[in-house]
Each structure stands twice: as C-alpha cells, then as structure tokens.
Amino acid sequence: MAGRLLKVSSLATAVFASSGFYLYSRQLDLNDLSVVRFGRAAATTAVISYDYLTAFKHVEHGTDEYWAIKSKVHRRSAERLRDLCCANRGTFIKVGQHLGALDYLLPEEYTSTLKVLHSRAPQSSMEEIQQVIREDLGKELSELFVSFEEKPQGAASLAQVHKAVLHDGRTVAVKVQHPKVQRQSSKDIMVIEVLVRAVHWLFPDFAFMWLVEEAKKNMPLELDFLNEGLNAVKVSNMLADFPFLKVPMIHWDLSTKRILTMEFAEGGQVNDRDYMKKHHINVNEISENLGKIYSEMIFVHGFVHCDPHPGNVLVRKCPQSKKTEIVLLDHGLYQVLQPDFRLDYCRLWQALINSDMSGMERYSRRLGAGDLYPLFACVLTARSWKAVNAGISSVPVTHSEDVEIRTNAAQYLPQISELLNRVPRQMLLLLKTNDLLRGIETTLQTRASSSSFINMSRCCIRAMARHKRSKARSGRRRLQITLAESLSLWKLSAYELLLWLKGSMMGHWLAALLALLH
C-alpha cells in the first residue's frame, strides 16, 4: 500500500513538475487558465455564501444588531467580489461595473464598493497593443501613425484608448481590445452562470439569472468594434438636429472587430463640476441637454445608448463655435426597443409625471410587473411610494427619501430580484441607463428638475402622435392628431415659460410690481 502511494505521489510530482516547466517555457500567465479563473471565482463565491449562512445564527432578525451585522456582511462580500473582478478582469469587471451602477436595486455597500471598478480596469502592455494592431491591420505602428502615445488615455474592462496622430496631421483616438478578452469571455460567462445558479440553490431569494442572460446577449456585441462604429454613425445621424451633441467620426480604414479608430475629442467628464466651473460651462444646461438626448433616444426612436457612465460622456466648449457640447463615447452597447414596449413605456412615464395612478398600474402590469407594480414604479423613478402618489414632478427629492429608498432596496431585495426576472429583457438595460443618468444628476445636483420632466413629456407626446398618425386611415384624422400634438406641445412650452418667469429676476420684479399695485 505504501509502495503504491509512493508511486502515485511520484507520478503526481512528475506531472506537476512537467506542467510547471511547460507553463514556464510557454511564458503563460496563470490568470489565462480557465481552471485558475474558475477556482478563484468558486472560492470567492463559497466564502461569501458561508459568511451569509453563518453570520446571523445567533442574532434575532430585525434587531439593531441584526442590521449592523448585515451591513458588515454586505461590505465584506462586496469587497471580496470587487477583488475577484480585479483579479479575473475582462468580463468579470464588466459585470461588476454593471452591478455597481444599480444604485437603487442593490444595497449601498455593494454599489459604493463596486463603483471603483470603473477606475480599476486592467491595462495591456505596449507589446500586446502592437501585436493586436499588427494582426488586424497588417502594418507596424510607424506605418500607420506619425506618433502613438504609449500611455493610454483611458483603460476599460474590454479595451484601452490611445491618442495618436495620422500622417495627414489629424489627431485620432485608437481603441484597442485587450488581446485575451475575446478568448476568455464566453468561458467567463459560463463560470458566472454556474456560480449564480449554485448561489440561487443555496439562497432561493437570490434570483440574478437576468444578469447572466444580459451578459450572454450583450458581450459579443460589445466585443465587435465594427458594430460599435455602426452604432456611432446611426446615433449621429438620428440626433443630427441637436447641435450640442458631438459623436466622434469613425475612420473605417483603420478599424476592425478589435480596433476602432475615431476622431479625438477632448473634454471633462460630465460629473466633473470643477472642470465645468473652470471652463464656464453651465451645469443646468448640461443636465437639461443630456436629458433631451436620452428622452429622444428612448421615447421617440427606441435606440438607446446604454452605458452613460461619466467616462463615456464628456463636456467641453466647441473649439470652433465656443458653444457647450456633450461628447458621447463608447457606442458598443445599445438597446433597440420594440415599438409596443416603447409606447407602453411612454404611457407609463406620462402616467407617472401626471400622477395618474390607474394609468401607472395599467401600464406597469403591461410591462410585466404584475402585482409588484408599486415596487416597479419606485425602482423606475428612484422615488418613494409616497412621492409617486403625490406626483414625482411636483415633489422635490430629499436626503431622507434617498436614505429610505436605499434601506428599502436592502429590505426588499428578494422582491426586486423577482421583479427583474419578470420584466422584459429590454427593461433591464433601461433601468441600468436610468441609474447611471441619475448618478450624474445627483453629482450635478440637478435631480428631478422640472426641465427634465418637461423634456420627457414633450418626447412622449411626439412619440404617441407619430404612432397614431401611422395608424390613421384618413388625412383628416392625421390633421386632427397633428393639431392635438401641437396644442399639447404649446401647453408644455407655456408651462415651461411660466416656470422660467417664476425663477427669473423678471418674475420676481413682476411679482413685486403686482403686489405693489394690489
């Protein structure tokens, strides 16, 4: 028996030694091995699960001690998850960033911890970047560019961007995919799916398969940079009437599935108030214009840029006109809304803005929320049920309401998970987009401004009128619809003017004059 054990151990030693020599000779990074990445993810999942299973054994549910321990467990688990994403990189960082954006769907301990992943993305070496360019474009850097900055302008989970100058003198941004991401992504998603199913088996209330399904669908699109270039051209043409929007032009001759070369656009991040102050950029104007862009995308066209985190939305003074511009970057992830879904979504927001509770219930149910429609309204608006009932356009956001929402997010996590598994897949990216935009508005201190609701209402009216005109069978009916649309838009403009007068110096002067005359 001892001899057999000795033989087995000797054989195992030889196998491990030869494996180590093979890996060393091939200069392979252990992090590239699927077994290492899976093992790391499985170990992290096991530790987090064990923590949740054992932390509350001797604590009475609902007590102050229980909530304090729960917050600590959330924080520990979020930190472990963050470290796992940083270690496995690529798809893991992308999924972690997605979770970090779900401010009103996940406990604050998770979102605040995972938000750092936007600034903790990996960087590829210059040798790796040159290799990708050599493989895809068939030329050396010096043949394509006069200069190519080695330090990237920014690094993300899937790629990094370098500033370069073409031989004709034009400055461009070159987005190059991390060389290993394409190969690892499908395996990583499979790993995440297995582990999410295992956690769901342990904790039935943990229903996050919607996240896996979204990653499966969206990751191949985000890894195809030619698709990103086509999206950029489409949205630029679609929103050509907005002079304040800048979408960098694509250089198709220097672009492939792994490389995207575009016009270089400088600017400060949309949440950088100091940059705006320094360059005399009006914060309210930026917030209002960003709202116009997204209302037009969502309600009118149903073609929505779904990754508006601050690094992808820049603000600047146009070098030529000196007017304020919003520069929209990273067009890899767009959601195409089905017409029926888009129109129901329009009707739901109209009901929410107008405090139409029966309409809110009806269209929430039509969008799949069922009996969870009150929770759906709160998740969609990031407002309390009390504010929804009172009218989100008339009740200002308070700090106490924000605290209440975050507390409820932790308390109602099972119901939120159930809701997210119920609603159409299109809704998930819209919720993520809403949360990212709200995060920007919170930083700019422009949340729930009247102008944002007016812009949304205006787009909803136009979208509904366009739909009715397409169904109208006579010219007379189309004329009636157009007149009704014009009247509704005129009322909104009059209301907007009234609000402006109330807030302006002229409004105060008129009020004082009327009081004096009275």
User: What is the CB neighbour count within 10 angstroms for residue 117?
Assistant: 23
* Vertex 397 angle, CA 393 and 401, to 5°: 125
Characterize 365-388 residue by residue with b for buried, 16 or more Cβ atoms within 10 angstroms of its Cβ, and e for exposed.
Answer: bbbbbeebbbbbbbbbbbbbeebb
Pairing mode of beta strands 313-317, 259-263? unpaired
For the chain, the first-to-last Cα distance in angstroms comes to 109
Q: How far apart are CA 82 and CA 86, in angstroms?
A: 6
Please name which of 443, 427, 438, 454 lies closest in space to residue 405, comparing C-alpha atoms. 438
One of 103, 307, 330, 435 is an active-site residue; which one?
307
* DSSP label of 162: E
SS3 62: coil
**Do residues 253 and 418 touch, judged by C-beta distance below 8 A?**
no
Structure tokens at 32: 């590239």
SS3 213: helix
Characterize 51-63 residue by residue with b for buried, 16 or more Cβ atoms within 10 angstroms of its Cβ, and e for exposed.
Answer: bbeebeeeeeeee
Pairing mode of beta strands 334-336, 159-166? unpaired
Considering Cα of 376, then 379, then 384, then 387, what sign does the dihedral take? negative
Q: Is 253 a residue of the active site?
A: no
Which active-site residues does the annotation give?
Answer: 307
